[in-house]
Amino acid sequence: MRMWGIQPEKLCNRHLLGEHAEMHMFTGCIRKGISINGYIKGGLVEVQKIKPRHDLLAREMQRRGMHHRSPLFFCTKMRAGKLNLSANKKDLAKRCKACRKLL
């Protein structure tokens, strides 16, 4: 799981949908008391940005004509994690030819 943090319009459909699902997974873990400390320490999530990130991804999905039927009801005062956007862009460009073209 990870939060790319990259502008949603620069993600291919696969990564857009994947990151959207992962925002739901992160919130599920937090609600169930499952630790996400490894993701936080690894710079893969900023907890305080999960809900706003989800909403950005959902808007982009809708803009592309995709259906979004999974609102995220999540509110936390937890502040943890810091993304490395430049490292995320490099990693995504290495992993995905479609995203590389958009970046």
pLDDT digits (tens, 9 = 90+) for 13-64: 999 999 999 999 999 999 999 999 999 999 999 999 999 999 999 999 999 9
Q: Has residue 86 been placed in a domain? A: yes
Write down the pTM of the prediction. Answer: 0.94
Q: Has residue 76 been placed in a domain? A: yes
> 3-class SS at 6?
coil
For residue 79, the enclosing domain spans 8-97
Whether 96 shows a pLDDT value over 90: the answer reads yes
Tokens of 1: 């799981």
Rounded (10°) angle between helices 13-32 and 50-63: 150
Number of structural domains (the chain) is 1
Q: Has residue 32 been placed in a domain? A: yes
Side-chain half-sphere exposure of 84, counting CA atoms within 13 A: 10
Q: Has residue 2 been placed in a domain? A: no
Q: Has residue 102 been placed in a domain? A: no
Tokens of 11: 């993600």
End-to-end Cα spacing for the chain: 21
Q: Has residue 23 been placed in a domain? A: yes
Q: Where are the alpha helices (DSSP H) in the chain?
A: 13-32, 37-41, 50-63, 85-95, 97-102
Q: Has residue 83 been placed in a domain? A: yes
Q: Has residue 103 been placed in a domain? A: no
